[in-house]
Amino acid sequence: MKTIHRTALLLTALLAAFACQEKPVDPVDPTPAAPQPESRTLTFVLPAVPAGEGEVPAALKTAWKAGDQIVVHGEYAKDQVTVTLAAGDISGDGKTATVTVDGLYPYRRDDCASTLYASYPASVADNLKHCFFYSKFSTTNAQLMAASNDGDTFRFQNICGILSMSVEGDFGGYTISTPKKEALGYEFLQVKLTDNEQNYRQYVGNPVLQLDGTVNGSDILVFVPEGTSFESGFVIKFKEGDDYTRIFKYTEPLEIARGELVDLGDITADVQHYDNPFSSDIIDLDEKGNANCYVVTAPGGYKFKAVYGNEPTNYLKDVDAAEVLWETWNDVSEVTPGSVVASASFAEDYIILHTPATLHPGNAVIAAKDASGKILWSWHIWVPATEIVTAGFGGIMGNDLMDRNLGALVAAEATDATVDVRSYGLMYQWGRKDPFTGSGVAMQNTVATVAGAQDEVAPAQITLEESIANPRLLGHMNNGDWLLVPDNTAWDDIDKTLYDPCPAGYRVPPMNTAVPFWNGISTQAGWSVNLTAGWLTVGVPATVLPIAGYRDDYSVGGMSKVGLRTLIWTAKNSTDAAGSGNDLRPDGGTFSLKGAPKARLGSVRCVKE
């Protein structure tokens, strides 16, 4: 883009060269006389204090000071002069400065009286080879001023609007951006100010979406060029030492006109703790890939992209915050809030979570919300009590599989003792990413307790959008689908889908009747059932399946058949009303692969992709 702008300027220069001459050509000698440098005593006048409410910040330039530098130029950058003001040049009130300047080459044209042009501050003046009547700056986040001469006087004008606020704290710097990544400035800004034309945004460079600055005492000044607006508000992150530690969010739309001062006053009371996703002590859970479920096995801080489940580049829009929606210990204990996941937040397109210093095994769900509180997406955080083992178990599912159900805190053991209730895991309606609790008492139809949002049974089927916005809402349909409009591809036999609930690298198992698990499971090697202890096994070496029951489509609010039956879902669709799964019924002696109502909640045993 910068090349295009420079090309346009060169073309303008060529046209101007033909249209205007510095001096009439002598008819006897057609060679124009070379322009001669001039010495002139110039007066520089500061603009009026920008209009706006509140006190004028001390960091805003309202008076000239010794050492201030101004660039004055005519046609060529090579001839421009940098004027450094001395104390004796400045008036008593600081509003004007008068100084004699040598080496000036005015740019004379027939169409306007102004012949010289000035830019402040000189440190960011960045004029092209041919300046003409332009003033070009290398940034926009500064108090930019420009002027054309009226005789020997330059009356400067503010080029930008000014956002002002103050904050108390030991902050070394800040970064400001907007939630919707709006342009806050430009890599460069060129203006055209003459005695008969004012263009405060002639050309601009690439947009700047984030501005860095320093806190001057307690003042923060952000300079924005004409046409900039904060339609979605803005966010400021404050740095203490090397890390950003505090954040301020302004959620209202804001427009700042050129030359206007918008003062927000003291924002200290509204500055909050900032969870920095780029801090070195925050672990990236996405290293193995994005998912709807993340496994955490050690205390600490973690992050993952705020994207739609298994789609790593499909970022959520309009996220304002994240929170822990609910937690469970997979039993009927009274769950302490914050015991599985202590906190959740959103920053820089990441969800950040912190565990307690001492892990408590359990499951939690984190939700991303917009400013109105609507849930945009949610993720399952799985904190097992023992290491999850992945093995082939005699190739019973073709691909290697986990040694436990999705959400189980321990693997079930084939002993004479009653199976550990924590081995049951979580429950899923077919095609849904959102988990629900299983039984909280071994061998009993008792739903495990949760801290936070309780699950709710809808009076009928729900839409996909309702399920995303209400991950605790159970769609209900006797012997049918939980979805109002069937989605037979929500889980898929071939590929891992957006709504697959398994961690990265795993998926809901595809149904393949060529592998033992889906082909007459009760006739396979390693098969055994213990109804007293509540488990069954298959494979060599054997994997153990707890007889976890299910939450029936007729009463999805409660558990059914715990210790008597279990349903293991496959990713294969059966009909509009049913998904495919292994319906294992030790109480009736039947162990068959068949369709089960999608509204029923069964178990998932994740396999390697």
What is the pLDDT confidence band of residue 332, given thresholds at 50, 70 and 90? very high
Q: Which of 413, 332, 439, 422 is nearest to 382 (CA)?
A: 422
pLDDT digits 0-9 by tens, 449-459: 999 999 999 99
What is residue 31's predicted lDDT score, i.e. its pLDDT?
A: 60
> Does residue 54 fall inside a structural domain?
yes
- Give the phi and the psi of residue 313 in degrees, each rounded to 5: -110, 0
d(CA 428, CA 606): 12
Give the model's confidence band at 30: pLDDT under 50 very low, under 70 low, under 90 confident, else very high.
low
How long a stretch of residues is the chain? 609
pLDDT digits (tens, 9 = 90+) for 63-86: 999 999 999 999 999 999 999 999
- Predicted pLDDT at 55: 72
3-state secondary structure string across 549-588: EEECCCCCCCCECCCCCEEEEEEEECCCCEEEEEEEECCC
Check whether residue 87 and residue 116 sit in a common domain. Answer: yes
Q: Give yes or no: residues 149 and 39 share one domain.
A: yes
Mean pLDDT, to the nearest integer, of 307-319? 94
Total domains in the chain come to: 3
Same structural domain, 328 and 289: yes
Average pLDDT in the 194-221 region? 93
Q: What is the pLDDT of residues 494-533, one digit of tens each?
A: 999 999 999 999 999 999 999 999 999 999 999 999 999 9
Residue among 426, 294, 424, 313 nearest 366 (CA):
294
Mean pLDDT score, 464-491: 97
The verdict on 167 and 237 lying in the same domain is yes
Q: What is the DSSP letter of 47?
A: P
40 and 148 assigned to the same domain: yes
Predicted pLDDT of residue 36: 85
Q: Is 104 part of a structural domain of the chain? A: yes
Q: Are residues 263 and 291 in the same domain?
A: no
CB atoms within 10 A of CB 499: 23
Nearest to 509 by CA among 597, 584, 579, 425: 579
The mean pLDDT value of the chain amounts to 92
Task: Please state, in angstroms and rounded to a whole number, the distance separating the CA atoms of residues 146 and 160.
Answer: 11
The whole-number pLDDT of residue 8 equals 32
DSSP letters for 9-35 = HHHHHHHHHHH--SSPPPSSS-SPPPP
Indicate the residue among 273, 308, 335 that finishes a domain: 273
Instruction: Spell 176-195 as b/e; 16+ CB within 10 A means b.
Output: bbbbeebbbbbebbbbbbbe
Asked if the structure places residue 291 within a domain, the reply is yes
Domain end position, chosen among 221, 255, 273: 273
Question: Residue 3: its pLDDT value, please?
Answer: 29
Residue 170 belongs to some domain of the structure: yes
Domain stop point among 101, 134, 157? 157
Q: Residue 487: how many CB atoms within 10 A of its CB?
A: 16
Sign (positive/negative) of CA torsion 167, 170, 174, 180? negative
For the cut 50, the answer to whether the pLDDT of residue 543 exceeds it is yes
Q: Is the pLDDT assigned to residue 356 strictly greater than 80?
A: yes
| Ramachandran region, residue 452 (left: φ > 0; alpha: ψ -120 to 50; beta: rest) | left
In a domain, 60, yes or no: yes
Co-location of 139 and 183 in the same domain: no
Quick one: pLDDT at residue 316? 96
pLDDT beyond 80 at 14: no
Whether residues 151 and 164 share a domain: the answer is: no
Q: Is the predicted pLDDT of residue 469 greater than 90, yes or no?
A: yes
Asked, for residue 96, whether it belongs to a domain, the answer is: yes
Give pTM, 2 decimals.
Answer: 0.79
Cα torsion at 514, 519, 522, 524 (round to 10°)?
-10
Examine the domain organization and report whether 295 and 341 are in the same domain: yes
> For 8, which DSSP code?
H
CATH of the domain at 336: 2.60.40
If asked whether residues 249 and 216 sit together in one domain, one would say yes
Confidence band of 228 (pLDDT split at 50, 70, 90): confident
Say if residue 167 is in the same domain as residue 131. no
Based on the domain organization, do 269 and 287 belong to the same domain? no
pLDDT class for 52, splitting at 50, 70, 90? low
What string of DSSP letters covers 369-414? E-TT--EEEEEEEEE-SS---EE-GGGTTSS-EESS-TT-SS----
The domain containing residue 62 runs over which residues? 35-157
Q: What does the pLDDT look like over 86-145, one tens digit per residue?
A: 999 999 999 999 999 999 999 999 999 999 999 999 999 999 999 999 999 999 999 999
pLDDT tens, position by position, 361-420: 999 999 999 989 999 999 999 999 999 999 999 999 999 999 999 999 999 999 999 999
- pLDDT classification of 19: cutoffs 50, 70, 90: very low
Q: Which residues contact 24 (CB under 8 A, 6 or more apart)?
A: none
The answer to whether the peptide bond before residue 541 is cis (omega within 30 degrees of 0) is yes
Q: What CA–CA distance (Å, rounded) separates 584 from 586?
A: 6
User: Mean pLDDT across the stretch 26-52?
Assistant: 78
- Amino acid letter for position 297: T
pLDDT exceeds cutoff 70 at 351: yes
Per the domain annotation, does 97 fall within a domain? yes
Q: Are 248 and 201 in contact (CB under 8 A)?
A: no
Say which residue, 120 or 17, is predicted with more confidence: 120
Determine, yes or no, domain membership for 124.
yes
For residues 347 and 88, give the distance between their C-alpha atoms in angstroms, rounded to a whole number: 51
Does the pLDDT value for residue 18 go beyond 60?
no
Instruction: State residue 555's pLDDT score.
Output: 85
